[in-house]
Amino acid sequence: MKVILNFFKKIFSASDEGDVADLERSNSQSQVKVYSRSEHNISRSQMSENAVKVLYRLKKSGYEAYLVGGCVRDLLLGYEPKDFDVATDASPEQVKKVFRNCRIIGRRFRLAHVFFGREIIEVATFRSSDDAADNKEQKVHEDGRLLRDNVFGSIEDDVWRRDFTVNALYYNIRDFSIIDYTGGMDDHSAGVLKLIGDPATRYREDPVRMLRAVRFAVKLGFSIDESTEKPIFELAPLLKGIPAARLYDEVLKMFLSGKGIQAFEMLRHYGLFETLFPQADHCLNNEQNNFPRVFIAKALENSDKRIADDKSVTPYFLMAAFLWEAVQELAKEKMRQGEEESFAYQHAASNVLSAQTKSISIPKRVTQSMREVWLLQLRFEKRIGGRPYRLLGHPRFRAAYDFLVLRAETGGAEMELAQWWTKFQDASDTEQKKMTRPPRKRKAKPKTKRKNSDND
């Protein structure tokens, strides 16, 4: 009933320019579907106990409380969600009154974080993103990007500001039903990612949604609906306007998902990789040189395999792989101009990193490690005397050695060199000594006075 009332309210309040969008929205709202507990497979036993506690406590205090977003989407697939997000009609201040272990965070959106040891349950108040609203709380950039969006609303408002239909499903703690305003359940069963509303407008509001489309398609094995996919090719450059700090996290999630290789292929396909790693993309486009493609693909495959085997992966290794060719090309250029090799590489590393951090703000400790991995590559060449021992003791040796092996496997370094280092690490003291001994100089023959026949 509430929904139908809302439908009429929307129609009659529609302003001239907003009326079409409002009508579309209202029509969809009139199709709200409620899936009862017996019509879906989500059970409370799959949820974090703390999330369940938060839901019940809010409900007991007289508020609405739902699980929403990625956790509902993942639970429907039987996956263990990364985190649990709660949506409520309580304001952040009201949430804070309900929970002692709670902090209000965020500038762009104010949210409540409820702490349980190391687990944080994020509780967000329903928000509206009604573009007809003349509200000081909402700020839009001239290119259509939402800068601040803190208009509280109802669940019917909240649903429309979410990105994909499968991310806009609400699990209601009151009766364990799932509320679906956007056809998300059908899309979920069909394995389709569909943006809510007009895709181009939604990408302009927040270009990061293009990256999220790729990330979820890869993570869930879903396809991207044609209308959601089409504008990406054209709008990909909008990502350049996103603050570099926001992109780093998104990029990490993308490449450390265990399906990094698919993410890479897809980002390249849509022209999104270019906006994130312009220098790497430039090298990848060189048709004469296949090395960067093979090298990056192999780095990603290895990293995906490590994740599958539950081994640790480090972001700096992958980023170093993405940019290695750019560093090498620039270093070679500098050497042609007369710089000594090690200086050339140091300067090239600095230049490449400073250009890269304009797109994605990579933390200092990560860029520092990338730099070390690159510069240690030169030191692998020095195999005589004490140098190999010192290199072995370098804190970044292991990563740099793995990098060398990767280069060798993909034709970017001598296999013999990589094998030498593989052997050297496990060799006995005597063997190591032998391996690092300077090649014996041939005894110079005693000089005999040569007759210079020319002078004769």
Q: List the interface residues with Mg ion, window 81-100 (CB under 5 A).
A: 83
Kindly state the smallest distance separating residue 66's Cβ from ligand ATP, in Å. 12
Kindly state the smallest distance separating residue 34's Cβ from Mg ion, in Å. 23
162 binds, among Mg ion, ligand ATP, none (CB under 5 to 8 A by kind): ligand ATP
22 or 158: CB nearest ligand ATP = 158
φ, ψ for residue 102, nearest 5 deg: -135, 140
Stretch that binds Mg ion, among 68-76, 201-209, 386-394, 400-408 (CB under 5 A): 68-76
Stretch that binds Mg ion, among 10-18, 75-83, 349-357, 448-456 (CB under 5 A): 75-83
- Of residues 5, 67, 60, the one with CA closest to residue 30: 5
Give the Cα separation of 216 and 183 in Å (integer): 17
CA 1 to chain centre: 41
In the complex, which residue's CB is closest to ligand ATP?
70
Q: Does 47 bind Mg ion (CB under 5 A)?
A: no
CA distances from 166 to 45, 171, 390 (A): 21, 12, 54
Q: Which residues pair with 121 in a beta bridge?
A: 114
Q: List the interface residues with Mg ion, window 207-236 (CB under 5 A).
A: none
Find the catalytic residue in 74, 89, 131, 163: 163
Kindly state the smallest distance separating residue 69's Cβ from Mg ion, in Å. 5
129 or 432: CB nearest ligand ATP = 129
163 or 281: CB nearest ligand ATP = 163
Give the Cα separation of 197 and 182 in Å (integer): 9
Kindly state the smallest distance separating residue 71's Cβ from Mg ion, in Å. 6
19 or 83: CB nearest Mg ion = 83
85 or 229: CB nearest ligand ATP = 85
| Cα-only R_g, the chain | 29
Find the catalytic residue in 83, 186, 198, 402: 83
Q: Does 70 bind Mg ion (CB under 5 A)?
A: yes
User: Which residues, in sequence order, are CB contacts of 65 under 8 Å at separation 6+?
Assistant: 54, 55, 56, 58, 59, 86, 87, 88, 172, 173, 174
86: phi > 0 → left, psi -120 to 50 → alpha, else beta; which?
Answer: beta
| Buried b or exposed e, range 214-246, using 16+ CB within 10 angstroms | bbbbbbbebebbeebbebbeebbebbeebeeee
Give the Cα separation of 291 and 410 in Å (integer): 7
Give the Cα separation of 360 and 275 in Å (integer): 10
144 or 335: CB nearest ligand ATP = 144
319 binds, among Mg ion, ligand ATP, none (CB under 5 to 8 A by kind): none
Give the Cα separation of 280 and 326 in Å (integer): 6
- Of residues 247, 256, 259, 253, the one with CA closest to residue 219: 259
Active site residue 83: yes
Residues in contact with ligand ATP by CB under 6 A are: 69-70, 82-83, 85, 162-163, 167-168, 206, 208-209
Active site residue 163: yes
209 binds, among ligand ATP, Mg ion, none (CB under 5 to 8 A by kind): ligand ATP
Question: What is the contact mask toward Mg ion in residues 369 to 408, using x (rule: CB under 5 A)?
Answer: ----------------------------------------
Helix (H, G, I), strand (E, B) or coil at 336: helix
Q: Which amino acid is at 346?
A: Q
CB 337 within 8 A of CB 319: no
Q: Which residues pair with 66 in a beta bridge?
A: 87, 172
Count how many residues are written for the chain. 456
83 or 265: CB nearest ligand ATP = 83
**Residue at token pair 């703000």:** 361
208 binds, among ligand ATP, Mg ion, none (CB under 5 to 8 A by kind): ligand ATP
Kindly state the smallest distance separating residue 404's Cβ from ligand ATP, in Å. 34
Active site residue 134: no
Residues labelled as active-site residues: 83, 85, 163
Binding site for Mg ion (CB under 5 A): 70, 83
